[in-house]
């Protein structure tokens, strides 16, 4: 069965970076894209970007250009999302999801708190 398992809760100070992992299993990792979506407390879903594990192509939302990097490790079937220069408004739950032009399987979410 398809599963996406994310890394655990993170607490960071403003200006720091965070790297969240998403380990996929139950399907051929390089056959589907992975997207990252975040949700601030009490707010809606926000699409951050997409990566192709097949060739490493990425597409980022304009809002995060220059501050986010998405990568994959095909040897372990793991996707990563690094967000730099963290601010308090980056406090959110970060999700990875398998992308088939729809997001059919989701990780459990990773809470990232940015606080001094």
Partner 1 sequence: QSALTQPASVSGSPGQSITISCTGTSSDIGGYKYVSWYQQHPGKAPKLMIYEVSNRPSGVSNRFSGSKSGNTASLTISGLQAEDEADYYCNSYTSSNTRVFGGGTKLTVL
The interface region with partner 1, picked from 9-17, 57-65, 73-81, 84-92 by CB under 8 A, is 57-65
50: Cβ–Cβ under 8 A, 6 or more apart, which residues?
33, 34, 35, 36, 58, 59, 70, 99
| Interface with partner 1 (CB under 8 A), residue from 10, 46, 111, 113 | 46
How far is it, in rounded angstroms, from Cα 28 to Cα 12?
A: 33
Closest CA to 25 of 69, 70, 79: 79
| Interface with partner 1 (CB under 8 A), residue from 10, 23, 54, 106 | 106
| Interface with partner 1 (CB under 8 A), residue from 1, 8, 41, 44 | 44
CA distances from 76 to 24, 79, 93 (A): 8, 9, 24
| Interface with partner 1 (CB under 8 A), residue from 62, 66, 75, 89 | 62
| Sites of contact with partner 1 (CB under 8 A) | 35, 37, 44-47, 49-50, 59-62, 95, 97, 100-104, 106-109
């Amino acid at each position: 069965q398809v599963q996406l398992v994310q890394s655990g809760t993170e607490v960071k100070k403003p200006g720091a970076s965070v790297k969240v992992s998403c380990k996929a299993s139950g399907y051929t990792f390089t056959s589907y894209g992975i997207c990252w979506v975040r949700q601030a407390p009490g707010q809606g879903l926000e699409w951050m970007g997409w990566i192709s594990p097949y060739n490493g192509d990425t597409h980022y939302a304009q809002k995060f250009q220059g501050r986010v990097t998405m990568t994959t490790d095909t040897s372990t079937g793991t996707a990563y999302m690094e967000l730099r220069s963290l601010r308090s408004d980056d406090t959110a739950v970060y999700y990875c999801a398998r992308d088939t032009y729809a997001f059919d399987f989701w990780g459990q979410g990773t809470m990232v708190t940015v606080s001094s």
